[in-house]
Amino acid sequence: MRIIRAPTLARAHELAVRTVLEKGWVLETENGEATVECEELALEVESPERPPMASPASRFQQRFLDAYAENLLHGSEAQFEYDYHRRLFDWGEGLTVDGRDVHIDQIDYIVRKLTAAKNSRRAIAVTWNPAVDENLDDCPCLQIVQCLIRDGKLQMKAVFRSNDILSAAGANIYALVHLQKSIAGRLGIPCGRYTHIALVPHIYYLRDINDIEPFCRSGTEIRPIAAVCRACGRCPRSAAG
């Protein structure tokens, strides 16, 4: 596992993109999509609220990120195969206990658990629901959210089974830190470290080729593997590759 420590969420995102593009390898997914995949990544940001929270290189900027965070915290009218708001605040789709539908607000559980036991390691929420997800074409990438109170601050750790580092990760970390802030506010304590763990970090280097150059800056910031440079073709490194 590669560990990236950064002063801001924006810088953590940029370094994660760099790591996948420079240290990764080409792999075609089970759906036939071309990716660059990398070994596990852990992004650690001690002060996740410190600006900038979004990289200027990302095509997803403030208006989109705020809407994404709002949907995570409060839900959306849009219909998807799944959404993280329901998985965190209303887990249990398709399940019954004693003839009653299951509806579990896992975020409320986290708040109650940490209120009752400030040193607890059990304040977790999960998204995976085998009754539903084994049959979905599009299933949750985020798997676990854990909250801890350490040194009087709320830490959050998020684990993704798979994470699109270029296009999705920036919005993921932005929204999850807003969730962290919300939980911290309910507990009456400040935010502490945010840790983002991607078990299979990847970039769709053909599908999102136009989004790579703002991070790469014609090879001055990032020196991607040869396959990415050949696909891009926008600087001298592409011919050399």
Report pLDDT digits (tens) over 178-205: 999 999 999 999 999 999 999 999 999 9
Q: How far apart, in whole angstroms, are the C-alpha atoms of residue 117 and residue 30?
A: 43
Domain boundaries, the chain: 2-240
Q: What is the pLDDT of residue 77?
A: 78
Dihedral class, residue 170 (left if φ above 0, else alpha if ψ from -120 to 50, else beta): alpha
CA 101 to chain centre: 29
145-184 confidence digits (pLDDT tens): 999 999 999 999 999 999 999 999 999 999 999 999 999 9
Instruction: Just list the catalytic residues.
Output: 141
Enumerate residues 6+ apart whose C-beta is below 8 A from 4: 12, 15, 16, 19, 41, 42, 43, 44
CB 165 within 8 A of CB 212: no
* Per-chain mean pLDDT for the chain: 95
Residue-level pLDDT at 205: 97
Structure tokens at 66: 């705020």
Q: Let me know: does 149 contact 187? Beta carbons within 8 Å.
A: yes
Q: How far apart are CA 119 and CA 149, in angstroms?
A: 6
Specify the pLDDT at position 240: 61
The 10s digit of each residue's pLDDT in 33-68 is 999 999 999 999 999 999 999 999 999 999 999 999
Running DSSP on this structure, what letter comes out for residue 59?
Answer: S
Q: How far apart are CA 108 and CA 223, in angstroms?
A: 44
CATH superfamily entry for domain 2-240: Thymidylate synthase/dCMP hydroxymethylase domain (3.30.572.10)
Q: Could you read off the pLDDT of 60-82 as tens digits, one per residue?
A: 999 999 999 999 999 987 767 67
Q: How confident is the model at residue 234 (pLDDT cuts 50, 70, 90)?
A: confident
| Model pLDDT, residue 41 | 98
pLDDT band at 110 (very low <50, low <70, confident <90, very high): very high
Cα angle 233, 238, 241; round to 5: 145
239 pLDDT tier (thresholds 50, 70, 90): low
Q: Could you tell me which residues are beta bridge partners of residue 228?
A: none
Residue 241 clears pLDDT 60, i.e. is over it: no
- pTM beyond 0.75: the answer is yes
Helix (H, G, I), strand (E, B) or coil at 4: strand
